[in-house]
Each structure stands twice: as structure tokens, then as C-alpha cells.
């Protein structure tokens, strides 16, 4: 599958909100929080035109959430890589802390990836820190966009693109962790009003 990157679109924020509303309606009370993540959540970032959503729950598997999403037309994304995030080389804990589930939106909606993760786990933090750091640091954002463009042009296929991008993301995230320490950033502990 070829990789098509595009400049950031204002419509991605609205597209996320529409998808988040659909998720909240389908998944019910098991949802702790729904976040816009990935490159489409970073204003100014070059990205694939696919909305990444993080759904935070208290446990996995969560049958109520899965049944609700499936009934609303979402589909499970196949493959072992959809059950656990990339575990950074520096991680010293139990790899199961990076477990997740991935769903695709209904066929009549825009392309997206719905990553279901457990509240307080490192993969929740990783996704949010990625977004916040790149939003706050325009020089790093520009460098990361250039890296992605050159990588997509060099490999041309999604599988090797992801295999190369994962360890590069770990390097980026080491800088993000330093930024978080310097600024006092941490993921939200409570559900925002209206969720």
C-alpha cells in the first residue's frame, strides 16, 4: 500500500469531533476519554489523511465497548500489531502495558484508526505527549514532517514505513520526555466536562 502524505487540513479537527461523537454514542459509559492523536491532531503537521483517535477505557478487553462499536458498524482491525503498540527499546516494564485494540470506523465514514487503550498505561501517555510536544515545538514539528516525507518517498509502502518510523519515534519521544519534565506536562487525570 503506497503512502500519501498531505499538508495539515483544518477539517481534520471537525472530522475527529464527528468520529468522537459516533464513538461516544456507540461505546457508552465504558469510555473514559476520547482524544485526537497522531499527526492529524498536530496543527501544521504533514500526515496521511487518516484520523487517529484514542479511546481510553478502564480495562481490556471491554466487551460493552466492543459490542457497541461493532453494532454501530465499526470493524476490528486484524493482525497481532493491532493488539499491542510498538514497545520502545527503553521500556523496562511488562510489555503487556502497551496492549490495545484497534477498530476502523464504519464504511460510510472517513478513514480512521480507533486505538482503544487503558487509562494510565504508557501508550496513553505516549500518544498524548507526541501530540503536545509537536504542537509546542515548531522546529521539531518541521523536522519530523520532513523526515516523514523523505521516508515515504524512499520506501513507498506502509509496512516498511512503519517499521522504520517506530524507532525514529522513540528518539523523538526521548526529546518529548525532556520537554515534559521541563514544562511539567502530564496526561489529563480526569475526564474533561462533556465527555
Q: Alpha-carbon distance 10 to 18, whole Å?
A: 14
167-171 contacts, C-beta under 8 A, 24 or more apart: 167/89, 169/86, 169/130, 170/88, 170/89, 170/90
- Quote the pLDDT of residue 193: 43
- Quote the pLDDT of residue 194: 45
pTM above 0.85, yes or no: yes
Which pLDDT tens digit goes with each residue over 20-79? 999 999 998 989 999 999 999 999 999 999 999 999 999 999 999 999 999 999 999 987
Question: Using an 8 Å Cβ cutoff, are 137 and 178 in contact?
Answer: no
Question: Using an 8 Å Cβ cutoff, are 48 and 81 in contact?
Answer: no
Q: Alpha-carbon distance 23 to 55, whole Å?
A: 8
Q: Alpha-carbon distance 171 to 88, whole Å?
A: 9
Which pLDDT tens digit goes with each residue over 138-149? 999 999 999 999
What the block records as the C-alpha cell of 12 is 481534520
Which pLDDT tens digit goes with each residue over 91-102? 999 999 999 999
Which pLDDT tens digit goes with each residue over 166-194? 999 999 999 999 999 999 999 987 554 44
Amino acid at each position: 500500500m503506497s503512502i500519501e502524505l498531505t499538508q495539515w487540513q483544518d477539517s481534520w479537527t471537525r472530522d475527529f469531533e464527528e468520529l468522537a461523537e459516533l464513538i461516544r454514542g456507540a461505546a457508552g459509559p465504558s469510555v473514559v476519554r476520547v482524544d485526537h492523536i497522531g499527526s492529524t491532531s498536530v496543527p501544521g503537521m504533514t500526515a496521511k489523511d487518516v484520523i487517529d483517535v484514542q479511546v481510553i477505557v478502564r480495562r481490556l478487553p471491554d466487551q460493552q465497548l466492543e459490542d457497541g462499536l461493532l453494532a454501530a458498524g465499526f470493524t476490528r482491525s486484524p493482525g497481532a500489531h493491532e493488539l499491542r503498540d510498538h514497545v520502545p527499546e527503553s521500556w523496562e516494564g511488562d510489555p503487556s502495558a502497551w496492549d490495545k485494540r484497534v477498530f476502523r470506523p464504519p464504511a460510510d465514514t472517513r478513514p480512521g484508526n480507533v486505538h482503544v487503550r487503558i487509562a494510565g498505561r504508557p501508550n496513553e501517555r505516549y500518544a498524548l505527549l507526541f501530540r503536545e510536544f509537536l504542537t509546542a515545538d515548531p522546529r521539531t514539528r518541521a523536522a519530523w514532517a520532513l523526515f516523514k516525507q523523505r521516508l515515504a518517498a524512499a520506501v513507498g509502502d506502509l509496512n516498511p514505513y512503519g517499521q522504520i518510523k517506530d524507532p525514529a519515534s522513540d528518539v523523538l519521544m526521548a526529546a518529548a520526555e525532556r520537554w515534559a519534565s521541563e514544562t511539567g506536562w502530564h496526561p489529563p487525570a480526569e475526564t474533561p466536562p462533556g465527555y
